[in-house]
Amino acid sequence: MTGSALQSAVIRDLAAEVPTEVTEVARTLAARLGGVAVLFYGSVLRTRQLGDILDFYVLTDRDGGFASRYLWPDVSFQEIPAGGRVIRAKVATMTLATFERATTGVSIDTTVWVRFAQPSALVWALGPDEQARVTRAVAAAATTAASFAAALGPRQGRPADYWQALLRETYRAELRVEAPGRELQVLAHAPERYDQLLPLAWDAAGIPFHRGSEGVAPRLSFGRCRRLAQAWLTRAAMGKALNIARLVKAAFTFEGAARYGLWKIQRHTGVHIALTPWRERHPVLAGPGVLWRVLRAQNAAARNA
């Protein structure tokens, strides 16, 4: 089987038009973080609400320290002037080689391949080689996701049924607290895309399937089904521990954590907390004091209402 149809679909996805400010930010991030390619993804890709937090993956060609090599990605909060405004971005950074490996599903991580089976845009690349590598990696993410969806989904159903099953299970494995039905919201933003992507990815993965009036049905061999089930059990068992380790790492290495947290607090509560040098240097230690100030301000506002 050939994956050329999937590759073409991925190329179209990655070429999605984005606001000029996003491209400008991507170039700045690449220069600032040593990137060879920059992917833009998340809700703002769809909504174009540039006042929200934008999500980027910056792929580099150089390894970081020990924690970066084994507990990727590095995460930072960046504020970048673009188009006459300040764009705020949450940025994940990892090597392109690690990204390529992660999308194949060979590691216990699920976050990368499930995230990039969803829409994203390649907004900057150093050259055609890097562009081609990212395209192949995103196609690999789709085949990995579709393969696990075949094992986790129903024996027969609509393409959306398989994606829903996959997303529900990955939320559990990743220690993500999502509202019930979150997977339905994700799919509702681009239902035709997901309907078309699943058979293309199955074809590229070498998974035969039947298409009938009641939907599609993957024809997994017993051996392949067992391997996928065993692989998923391993990821489900170890995924929470992996993501707890990442959270601990992020608590002490998240560049710009204090700025990010205080901006989110003001946006969601209306309470302004000044960014002091101490809070900038020690966001974890500053957390309880910030929480107390927010609660005090909210209580005062309630009394005066």
Check: CB of residue 275 under 8 Å from CB of residue 258: yes
* Distance in angstroms (rounded) separating the CA atoms of residues 204 and 7: 9
User: Would you list the domain boundaries of the chain?
Assistant: 4-255, 258-304
Whether this prediction's pTM lies above 0.95 is answered by: no
Nearest to 80 by CA among 32, 117, 15: 32
Of the candidate CATH numbers 2.130.10.10, 3.30.460.10, 3.40.50.620, 3.40.190.10, the domain formed by 4-255 belongs to: 3.30.460.10
Report the DSSP beta bridge partners of residue 252: none
Q: What is the pLDDT of residue 142?
A: 98
CB atoms closer than 10 angstroms to residue 82: 19
151-167 pLDDT per residue, tens = 999 999 999 999 999 99
Nearest to 108 by CA among 224, 234, 205, 228: 234
Burial of 275 (0-12, 13-18, 19+ CB in 10 A): middle
125-141 pLDDT per residue, tens = 999 999 999 999 999 99
Name the stretches of the chain with pLDDT < 70.
1-2, 64-68, 175-179, 248, 251-253, 257-265, 267-268, 279-280, 283-284, 286-287, 290, 305
Q: What is the pLDDT of residue 258?
A: 64
Check: CB of residue 46 under 8 Å from CB of residue 119: yes
Q: Output DSSP code: residue 175.
A: T
Supply the Cα-derived Rg of the chain in whole angstroms.
Answer: 21
Check: CB of residue 140 under 8 Å from CB of residue 103: yes
Check: CB of residue 131 under 8 Å from CB of residue 142: no
Q: What is the pLDDT of residue 1?
A: 41
Q: Which residues of 91-100 are buried (b: 16+ CB within 10 A; e: fewer)?
A: bbbbbbebbb
Check: CB of residue 76 under 8 Å from CB of residue 255: yes
- C-alpha triplet 297, 302, 305: angle, nearest 5°: 125
Residue 188 in tokens: 């509702």
